[in-house]
Chains A and B, each alone.
Chain A
Amino acid sequence: MTELHSTLSGIGVSAGVAVGPLVIVSPPPTAPANEPPTTDAAAASTQVRDTLKAVADGLLAKAANADAHAKPILEAGAMMAGDPGLAGAIDTQLQTGKGITNAVAAAVDEYCAMFESLGGYMAERVTDLKDVRDRTVARLLGQPEPGVPSLTTPSVLAAVDLAPAETATLSVETCLGIITSAGGPTSHTAILAAQLGIPAIVQAEGILDVPFGTSVALDGGVGEIIVDPSEAEQQLLLDRKARREKALAAGSGKGTTKDGHPIALLANIGTAADAHKAAAQDVEGVGLFRSEFLFLDRDSAPTVDEQTATYTEVLQAFGDRKVVVRTLDAGADKPLAFADLGHEENPALGRRGIRLGVVRPDLLDDQLQALANAYEATGGDLWVMAPMIATRQEASWFAEKVRSKGLPKVGVMIEVPAAALRSFDVLSEVDFASLGTNDLGQYTMAADRMQGALSTLLDPWQPALLDIIFYACDGGAKTGHPVGVCGEAGGDPLLALVLAGLGVSSLSMAPSKVRAVRTALALHDLHQCQQMAAAARASVGPKEAREVVLSMADPVMVDLL
């Protein structure tokens, strides 16, 4: 048991301070191995059907209060729980004498195996099915259903990690903060929390041992958690929060350093709905529009007309502000039913991004045509870039395609170290580059970004990653073409100073992070940023790099993190 008044630490992934009672998300139960066998199959069958009905009703009740995004997920779960085929399959298992929860698990697992073998959209439904199984097994065992309980009072949520379906129902009003014992800075939880502006910490060992309902205070900037904080400790954190709000309220408009050097502050978006939300914010445009959402969860590629409509909507939302669209970034890790190139042992190193575009130029041609149509219709400031470019030849191939459609600006993502090291070559073919620091980090350090245990290697403060970014910017300076950042690193106000010092000309991030980055830039001149970049690169490790930069920064920075 974690002691009260103790301090826990993790990795801060979404800045801000919160104090509230801890609500621990119950882990899913497992069907017990020592369960007694079923002797009365008919009675067990009735019990299972009643339980499935209760699970379905529970999901429907949640759906009734959920937003447009969460509602269909919950309704689909209710429909699965009420499926007569599933009840029949469980009956078959009960008749073999399996214990009641084991029968449920076995029947669901059969469906899961079938869906997984179908791949694509069906494989993704496995998560929903397993959720139904876990809820049913929990009820049969007399336990509370797993997952996020509906929060009636504002609370701090703790979990091993949160699945997309679990975060779908979170609201800023009741969820004060999020703490996970697993996950990493680029996990789903971290990205979502940053988008919603909820303070969050990942990799916080010991948090799940804290008793339910204990008051906890967290600081999502530095990754510190105080269990059962004293009033003085709470006050310290809340004072910090107030100072932070005050510092943030000061700035607005375009991003510049103290001496007026411009660093454009842009938003990362994933859907047309995001575009409308982001356009209402004080941002200079979009630095990364991930176009994948148009392609996922469907059997055939979206038509040119369908894509044109979406791109037009996004460009219109931003008027004369710039919008950078990344062409389809799919591959074995994000499989598409209509562009399945088969199983790959190492999807991150496989035929993804532009490599898929080369095998399926029809998909890319349609997408570029739709972008050209949207450009013609709106006259917006449209920039188009390709993911996963590794060589000058790939950049040249892509640039020719984009320019042949009459599109005004073509660029590349720099995520592969090869492209960063030879950025002069690559940038000679195109108009701009954008650094995807998450993937660039994973490829530079040879560390899977989904592997939470490797988060130190994936720390964006790794001096090797800063070196690679330096080389990429150097090629940009020599060609006179701008190099921006659109990875999570750009949203860290302290690291943003280093990136500016390395020569980056724009930073794209979750819109909720823009204010802190703007304030940080306005407090330092370009020369200071360059000195910080040099000091960070001269450090022996990520922790030391961050410490030295913080020591060189304006004292107000401590409150912004």
Chain B
Amino acid sequence: MATREVAIGSSVGLHARPASIFVQAATATGLPVTIAKQGGNPVDARSILGVMALGAKNGEVVTLSAEGDGADAALDGLVALLERDLDAE
């Protein structure tokens, strides 16, 4: 199981457009990726409803987890995405 921690870079937090960009990227990995807030239950990172309901705000640290071939590379890609201010782009 590969895991990564990352602080949300998007200024509006992880919802609206940034959430949908993230979910599309997580789905594209083809792996069962999960995302969790610190101390919270992991939710399916491919679920827009789950990710939006997470309500991760700007600067909040989330944990990404995935299993399977290429999990490390996939998570590195998602971390790089979450670090950016997706709303401003």
B27, chain A: closest CB distance, angstroms: 8
Docked CA distance A121–B50 (Å): 15
Within 8 A of B (CB), among A47-102: 72, 75-76, 79-80, 83-86, 88
A121-B53 in contact (CB<8A): no
Number of residue pairs A-B, CB distance < 8 angstroms: 52
Contact with A along B44-60 (1 / 0, CB 8 A): 10111110110101100
A80-B58 in contact (CB<8A): no
Docked CA distance A297–B16 (Å): 9
A122-B48 in contact (CB<8A): no
B53-A84 in contact (CB<8A): no
Residues of A within 8 A of B57 (CB): 299
A299-B53 in contact (CB<8A): no
Assess whether A276 is interfacial by the CB under 8 Å rule: no
One of A37-45, A111-119, A311-319, A389-397 contacting the partner? A111-119
Residues of B within 8 A of A85 (CB): 43-44, 46-50
B16-A84 in contact (CB<8A): no
Interface majority SS (helix, strand, loop, mixed), chain A: helix
**Contact check: which of A83, A125, A129, A297 meets B47 at CB < 8 Å?**
A83
Docked CA distance A122–B57 (Å): 13
- Residue on A with the closest CB to B20? A79
If A86-B47, A300-B12 touch, whether A122 touches B52 (CB-CB below 8 Å) is yes
Within 8 A of A (CB), among B36-73: 43-44, 46-50, 52-53, 55, 57-58
Contact with B along A176-200 (1 / 0, CB 8 A): 0000000000000000000000000
A41, chain B: closest CB distance, angstroms: 20
Docked CA distance A80–B23 (Å): 11
Chain A residues within 8 Å of chain B by Cβ, number = 22
Assess whether B9 is interfacial by the CB under 8 Å rule: no
A299-B44 in contact (CB<8A): no
Residues of A within 8 A of B55 (CB): 118, 122
Docked CA distance A84–B48 (Å): 9
- Residue on A with the closest CB to B17? A72
If A114-B53, A115-B53, A121-B15 touch, whether A300 touches B48 (CB-CB below 8 Å) is no
Docked CA distance A413–B58 (Å): 36
B41, chain A: closest CB distance, angstroms: 13
B58-A300 in contact (CB<8A): yes
Assess whether A298 is interfacial by the CB under 8 Å rule: yes
Chain B residues within 8 Å of chain A by Cβ, number = 20
- Residue on A with the closest CB to B47? A85
Docked CA distance A83–B43 (Å): 12
Residues of B within 8 A of A300 (CB): 11-12, 58
If A85-B44, A85-B47, A86-B47 touch, whether A125 touches B12 (CB-CB below 8 Å) is no
If A76-B20, A122-B15, A299-B12 touch, whether A84 touches B52 (CB-CB below 8 Å) is no
Residues of A within 8 A of B20 (CB): 75-76, 79
Docked CA distance A122–B49 (Å): 10
Within 8 A of B (CB), among A498-523: none
A122-B47 in contact (CB<8A): no
A125-B58 in contact (CB<8A): no
If A79-B23, A83-B47, A84-B44 touch, whether A122 touches B12 (CB-CB below 8 Å) is no
Residue with the greatest number of chain B CB neighbours at <10 A, chosen from A80, A84, A121: A84
If A114-B53, A118-B53 touch, whether A84 touches B12 (CB-CB below 8 Å) is no
A84-B58 in contact (CB<8A): no
A112, chain B: closest CB distance, angstroms: 10
If A83-B47, A84-B47, A85-B47 touch, whether A299 touches B13 (CB-CB below 8 Å) is yes
Which 10 A-B pairs have CB atoms at the shortest separation, nearest pair first?
Answer: A85-B47, A85-B50, A79-B48, A299-B12, A299-B13, A83-B47, A83-B49, A85-B49, A83-B48, A85-B44
Which B residues form the contact surface with A (CB < 8 A)?
11-13, 15-17, 20, 23, 43-44, 46-50, 52-53, 55, 57-58
With A86-B49, A122-B52, A125-B52 given, name 17 new contacts (CB 8 A): A79-B20, A80-B48, A83-B48, A83-B50, A84-B46, A85-B43, A85-B49, A85-B50, A88-B44, A111-B49, A111-B53, A115-B53, A122-B55, A129-B49, A297-B16, A299-B15, A299-B58
Q: Can you list 25 pairs linking A and B with CB atoms under 8 Å apart?
A: A75-B20, A76-B20, A79-B20, A79-B23, A80-B48, A80-B49, A83-B47, A83-B49, A83-B50, A84-B46, A84-B47, A85-B46, A85-B47, A85-B48, A85-B49, A86-B47, A88-B44, A111-B49, A111-B53, A115-B53, A121-B16, A122-B15, A122-B52, A299-B12, A299-B15
